[in-house]
Homo-oligomer: A and B are copies of this chain.
Amino acid sequence: MKYELYYWPGIQGRGEYVRLALEEAGASYRDVAREGGGSGAMMAAMKQGATPPFAPPFLKAGKLVIGQVANILLYLGSRHALAPKTEGGKVWVHQLQLTITDLVAEIHDTHHPLGSSLYYEDQRAPARKRTEAFWSDRVPKYLGYFEGILQDNGGSTITGRRITYVDLSLFQIVDGLRYAFPKRMKAFERKIPGLVDLHDRVASRPNIKAYLSSERRVPFNEDGIFRHYKELDA
C-alpha cells in the first residue's frame, strides 16, 4: 500500500514524527503537499470524507484517513514493526508518544504563549517568561522522565528492544531543541547522556541517514514548532 501523507509543505512541524516513521520503515508514501499538491490539495482533502481530521498532519492509508500524530504512529507502528507486538507494549509506547505530544505543544507555546492567532512579535515578553519556565521546570521534568526510562531499559532504545517510533520521535526532540535553543541545550545535554546517544544512533541508521541528507527533510525554520529566536536562548 502506498500511503499519502498530508502536511504543511514548508515545515517539519508535527508531520516530521510521521515522516521519520515512514522513512525508517522504508514505507512507500507520497508527501502530497510537498510533491506538487501544495497546501490547497491538503486543505481540500482534509474536508472530504466521513472522518475529517481537525488539522494536519493526516495520513491516507487505503480507505482510512487518520489524523493526530500519535494515532498515525499507533497505526503505522503495528504494521511496520515500529512498536512492540503485545497489547501491553503497544499501550506503553503509545502512552510515551502521547507524552511527547504534550511536550511538543509546550515547545510550541514557548514562542506562542498567547496563542497561534497572534504573531510572535506581538508576544515576545510573555514568550520570554514562558520559555524561562519551560527550561527551568518542564524540560528537566520531561527529558528527565525519558532519560530515566531509557537508562532503566539498558540505554539502547526506549523499550530496551527493537527500535520504536518513540525512539525516532525522541531523536527529533533532541534535534529540534538543539536547533531552537543551542545555548540552553548545550548546557543541558550533560543531564541526558542517554538521549543524546540515542539521537546520534538514530541519525546514523541507514534509512534515517539517507532521509536526513535528502531534500525530503525540510530544514528547520521559524515557521515550525522549533524556532530559533536568539532572545529566547539567553
* Interface assignment of A70: CB less than 8 Å from any CB of chain B: yes
Chain A positions 40-58 with a Cβ under 8 Å from a chain B Cβ: 50-54
Q: How many residues of A contact B (CB 8 A)?
A: 45
B54 touches A67 (CB 8 A): no
A133 is contacted by which of B71, B114, B136 (Cβ under 8 Å)? B114
Contact with B along A78-111 (1 / 0, CB 8 A): 0000000001100110110011011001000100
Q: Is the CB of B115 within 8 A of A54?
A: no
Any chain B CB within 8 A of the CB of A129? yes
A54 touches B130 (CB 8 A): no
Given A70-B98, A109-B109, are A134 and B115 neighbors across the interface (CB < 8 Å)? yes
CB-based contact B91/A63 at 8 Å? no
A97 to chain B, nearest CB (A): 9
Partner of A117, one of B53, B64, B101, B136: B136
Q: How many copies does the complex hold?
A: 2
CB A133 to nearest CB in B, in angstroms, measures: 4
Interface string of A14-57 (1 = CB under 8 A from B): 00000000000000000000000000000000000011111000
Least Cβ distance of A30 to chain B in Å? Answer: 20
Contact status B115-A130, CB under 8 Å: yes
When distances are taken between beta carbons in the complex, the residues of chain B under 8 Å from A67 are: 95, 98-99
Q: A105-B102, A149-B52 are contacts. A113–B126 as well, Cβ < 8 Å?
A: yes
A6 to chain B, nearest CB (A): 14
- Given B71, B75, B87, B145, which contacts A98 in the complex, CB threshold below 8 Å? B71
Contacts of A225 in B (CB 8 A): none
